[in-house]
């Protein structure tokens, strides 16, 4: 099980009662069977003139799917190892230029996937975080 404690302090929610991860049901055509969404926005300041400024957003999706339905090595991916599991990484950027990374690990009981978008804490390497989380998951599900 992954908790907010598994994420770097810089991307965790700062609210006294942080938003809990949200289970997400797959769409009819989704390759995954189970998903959970993690969201943590940076601080937002609302000025007296009604304008606002903020410091970005962090989101993570952790999914699981059946072997054969999810591909641990999609096109344009780079092979990677996550502890005892093999899979791949797909670095990218959002349309707004925020760093993104998605990784897949082939487990004995299916495929785990982690996808991160991070404009909240640019000093945190998105693919490094994906690798860390997938290694934790793969080590628990050998």
pLDDT value for 16? 67
- Give me the pLDDT at residue 49, please: 67
CA-based nearest residue to 66, from 29, 28, 23, 33: 33
Please state, in angstroms and rounded to a whole number, the distance separating the CA atoms of residues 38 and 113. 14
Query: Which residue range is the domain that position 90 belongs to?
Result: 4-140
Beta bridge partners of 58: 40, 118
Say what the pLDDT of residue 3 is: 87
- For the chain, the average pLDDT equals 86
pLDDT in tens, 27-86: 887 888 888 988 887 665 566 766 555 567 889 999 999 888 889 999 999 999 999 999
User: Using H for helix, E for strand and C for coil, what is the string for 40-56?
Assistant: EECCEEECCCCCEEECC
What is the number of domains present in the chain?
A: 1
pLDDT in tens, 2-29: 888 899 998 888 776 667 888 888 788 7
Q: What pairing do the DSSP bridges indicate for beta strands 99-107 and 110-118?
A: antiparallel
């Amino acid at each position: 099980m992954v908790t907010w404690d598994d994420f770097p302090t810089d991307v965790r929610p700062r609210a006294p009662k942080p938003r809990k991860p949200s289970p997400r049901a797959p769409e009819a055509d989704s390759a995954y069977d189970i998903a959970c969404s993690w969201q943590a926005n940076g601080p937002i300041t609302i000025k007296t003139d009604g304008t606002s400024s903020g410091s970005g957003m962090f989101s993570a999706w952790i999914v699981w799917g059946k072997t054969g339905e999810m591909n641990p090595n999609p096109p344009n991916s780079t092979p990677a190892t996550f502890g005892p599991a093999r899979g791949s990484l797909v670095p990218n950027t959002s349309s707004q230029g925020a760093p993104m990374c998605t990784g897949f690990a082939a487990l004995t009981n299916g495929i785990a996937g982690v996808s991160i978008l991070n404009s909240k804490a640019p000093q945190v390497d998105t693919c490094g975080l994906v690798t860390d989380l997938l290694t934790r998951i793969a080590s628990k599900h050998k």
